[in-house]
Structure 1
Amino acid sequence: MRPIAPRHAFDTEFTLDDAQAAAADTLSTPGTEGAYLWGPVGRGKTWLLDAYFSGVATTAKKRVHFHSFFRDLHAAYFRHRFSIDAAIDDILATDDTGLQAELLCFDEFHVHDIGDARLITRMLDTLFARGVALVVTSNYAPDDLLPNPLFHPTFVPTIDKLKKNLEIICVDGPVDYRSVGTSGSRFASGTWTLEPGSVGHTFTELCCAARSTGDYLRMLETTTNLTITDVPALESVDEFAAQRFANLVDVLYDHDVRVDFHALVPLHEFGVGCIGLDTERLVSRLGELSTLPLQRAANTADGPAHTKGDTHY
């Protein structure tokens, strides 16, 4: 059974829109099912998840970003020689005592890859069989998961299980709150500029080589500032590089890393013509950045301008 958070756990200084208020009402009402919150980017799904998680009166709970969770699941699955039960035991541990989570909250649940889909199916079957309550957020309606038409039919039985075990809640308010600058995060303090960058990591280095989300997570373990240079228009790169960049920005956003992007195109042109996976969320998150005009640094006695307080990795 899904635990409830008291309705006052969703009290805040801003007024909830109708979709957010309806979601809060559902999450504060007893129910036998978990919950699947989905909707367009920037509608407050993560805020609702965090408020719910904080308000639930149990210590047997775990809240994770799906990228991190799935990386750990992969590692535990191989470590335990492909035993999904042993892997789930590991990742449901909430602390050093081995206390197992009875509530698992995923932020940004998604399925793009058929290989991942098979493991996700086994994971969900195991969690549902154990009676673990799931509350997840996603930019995708359940029926839109694993959208590749070659593979989607094989995932339909798992989608049906999601709809059977989770209450589907659409959070589709009229405002993308990221676009109105309400974040105040370190990530949002970053910049997007057309000035060439001479230090940092290039887009090619980070996204055109075969890198996993786990590689990005390891890179960011001790990093709070990052510079990425030579960022091209998304339409100009292949779908794999585009997806890696979307995954990288997801990780940077979730870990609240300040990033200075030195791009080859203005931010408003970056995603034009690209309809690849997660493009809408990617563009929305980048939209929180400050955009700096192109300024040719003059060779003065003080030398070229530098970004104040930046640390490059």
Structure 2
Amino acid sequence: MTSTISLVERHPTLDAGSIVSSLVPPPQFVEARFDNYIPNPDFPSQEEARHILEEFASKNTSVIKQGKLFGRTKKVEEFPPGVYLDGGFGVGKTHLLAASWNIASGKKYFGTFLQYTSLVGALGYVKAVEALKGASLICIDEFELDDPGDTMMMTRMLGELVAGGTRIAATSNTPPAALGEGRFAAADFLREIQALASNFRTLRIDGTDYRQRTAEGVSRVLSSSELTSAVESKSNEGLTVSSDSFDSLLAHLATVHPSVYVRLLEGLDVIALSDVHVIVNQTDALRLVAFIDRVYDAQIPIIASGSPLSEVFGGDMIHGGYRKKYLRCVSRLIALTNS
């Protein structure tokens, strides 16, 4: 008799301390350093970005300011308080961001754009800012520009934090299939953050995906009997496997705050999903994106039956306003289901 667990039986609760303490680099980037980032010699911008980020992150003192952040007063600083890395998938942006976090001193945080907006949603704006205040460095991976409300809220929050001496490092979420491979992302970023723009130095990182992973291809699919056998086999190997239907997972995600999705995955080695199908509800689709981001961070393989997971975003979702999110998720689903 094999034993598995069910994700829908896990009910993690919101706890401010736990949410904030989870703002650290994903496990695969714990050892990320500038000296183990290997730039592609065919793309000099990678080596340049490494050099600039290392200099930026090694600054242990806060920016010296005179007057208000947005006032017409003189600022004295050796380096802008913000750096933005612009580029496609697989060129090492997250590695460099994590390396920056790893060498920075003092109080520091690392998370995706969604993690920070989820933090605000869970704690409220005032408490979220209070929790992050005093940080020497805040790293934001995959800064998203597709929700004006979230962008304005993040701009306001970062403005308060920068005014207190916090330094910000951010990356874009531009997928390789996007027009111009993200060459317009930096301009979009600076336009959307408006008042903060003058406090950011933008760095373009060119290159091809070192994983040779794109949004092309398809997730591996098992038959119902193959999935049952795979779950049994992996359980017998001593692995901790979760087994749920796709619909039950989607329904459960609606009851759990995205900021604690990571706690659904604690101790898991494999995720099994049965009867996967195309999603037509965009709210369900966006919850799945947030969940898969955490699964990818934890590098937990997925086995599934039904429709390919990489084809679950139905209708015009993949071509709509959240195109970047869905393409990133598709890329990650292909990797997780074919690992």
Q: Please give the TM-score of this superposition, normalised by the length of structure 2.
A: 0.61
Residue matched to 1:151: none
Structure 1 stretches (4+) deviating beyond 4 angstroms? 142-145, 269-273
Alignment counterpart, residue 259 of structure 1, candidates 269, 287, 302:
302
The change in CA–CA distance for 1:73 and 1:39 in structure 2 (over 3 A counts) is same
Aligned-partner Cα distance in 1 for 2:223–2:53: 46
Q: Give secondary structure in 1 for the equivalent of 2:319.
A: coil
Aligned-partner Cα distance in 1 for 2:115–2:48: 29
Pairwise CA distance, 1:250: 0.7
Residue matched to 1:26: 52
Whether the aligned pair in 1 keeps the contact of 2:33 and 2:96 (CA below 8 Å) is: no
Aligned-partner Cα distance in 1 for 2:297–2:271: 14
Output aligned runs, 1:91-240, within 5 Å.
Answer: 91-92=132-133, 100-140=134-174, 141-144=185-188, 158-177=192-211, 179=213, 192-196=220-224, 197=227, 200-207=243-250, 210=254, 212-214=257-259, 216-233=261-278, 237-240=280-283
Q: Give secondary structure in 2 for the equivalent of 1:46.
A: helix
Q: 1:228 is matched by which residue type in structure 2?
A: L
Q: 2:46 is matched by which residue type in structure 1?
A: Q
The change in CA–CA distance for 1:215 and 1:289 in structure 2 (over 3 A counts) is closer
Q: Give secondary structure in 1 for the equivalent of 2:223.
A: coil
Residue matched to 1:10: 34
Residue matched to 1:90: 131
Q: 2:319 is matched by which residue type in structure 1?
A: I
1:76 aligns with 2:123: yes
The change in CA–CA distance for 1:9 and 1:144 in structure 2 (over 3 A counts) is same
Pairwise CA distance, 1:178: 5.5
Q: Give secondary structure in 2 for the equivalent of 1:201.
A: strand
Whether the aligned pair in 2 keeps the contact of 1:142 and 1:159 (CA below 8 Å) is: no
The change in CA–CA distance for 1:213 and 1:36 in structure 2 (over 3 A counts) is same
The change in CA–CA distance for 1:144 and 1:200 in structure 2 (over 3 A counts) is farther
Whether the aligned pair in 2 keeps the contact of 1:44 and 1:177 (CA below 8 Å) is: no
Aligned-partner Cα distance in 1 for 2:209–2:150: 32
Aligned-partner Cα distance in 2 for 1:142–1:285: 23
Whether the aligned pair in 2 keeps the contact of 1:20 and 1:48 (CA below 8 Å) is: no
Residue matched to 2:286: 243
Residue matched to 1:300: none
Q: Give secondary structure in 1 for the equivalent of 2:220.
A: strand
Aligned-partner Cα distance in 1 for 2:152–2:96: 29
The change in CA–CA distance for 1:65 and 1:177 in structure 2 (over 3 A counts) is same
Residue matched to 1:59: 106
Pairwise CA distance, 1:239: 2.7
The change in CA–CA distance for 1:228 and 1:165 in structure 2 (over 3 A counts) is farther
Pairwise CA distance, 1:123: 0.9
Aligned-partner Cα distance in 2 for 1:254–1:144: 26
- When the two structures are aligned, how many residues end up with a matched partner? 248
1:285 aligns with 2:332: yes
Q: Give secondary structure in 2 for the equivalent of 1:11.
A: helix
Q: Report Cα offsets for 1:105-159 as digits up to 9, x if no partner.
A: 12222244344344323312211221210001221425546xxxxxxxxx95x52
What is the RMSD computed on CA atoms of the aligned residues?
3.4
Return the structure number with greater helix share.
2
Aligned-partner Cα distance in 1 for 2:167–2:309: 43
Bigger mean CA deviation after superposition, 17-26 or 247-256: 17-26
Structure 1: gaps spanning 5 or more residues:
1-7, 93-99, 146-154, 181-190, 293-313
Q: Give secondary structure in 2 for the equivalent of 1:28.
A: helix
Q: Please give the TM-score of this superposition, normalised by the length of structure 1.
A: 0.66
Structure 2: gaps spanning 5 or more residues:
1-31, 57-78, 175-184, 229-241
Aligned-partner Cα distance in 1 for 2:309–2:80: 48
Percent of pairs with identical residues: 28
Whether the aligned pair in 2 keeps the contact of 1:61 and 1:102 (CA below 8 Å) is: yes
Aligned-partner Cα distance in 1 for 2:222–2:306: 5
Aligned-partner Cα distance in 1 for 2:148–2:254: 18
Residue matched to 1:275: 319
Whether the aligned pair in 1 keeps the contact of 2:87 and 2:205 (CA below 8 Å) is: yes
Pairwise CA distance, 1:35: 0.7
Aligned-partner Cα distance in 2 for 1:265–1:89: 43
The change in CA–CA distance for 1:91 and 1:13 in structure 2 (over 3 A counts) is closer
The change in CA–CA distance for 1:228 and 1:47 in structure 2 (over 3 A counts) is same
Q: Give secondary structure in 1 for the equivalent of 2:299.
A: coil
The change in CA–CA distance for 1:281 and 1:42 in structure 2 (over 3 A counts) is farther
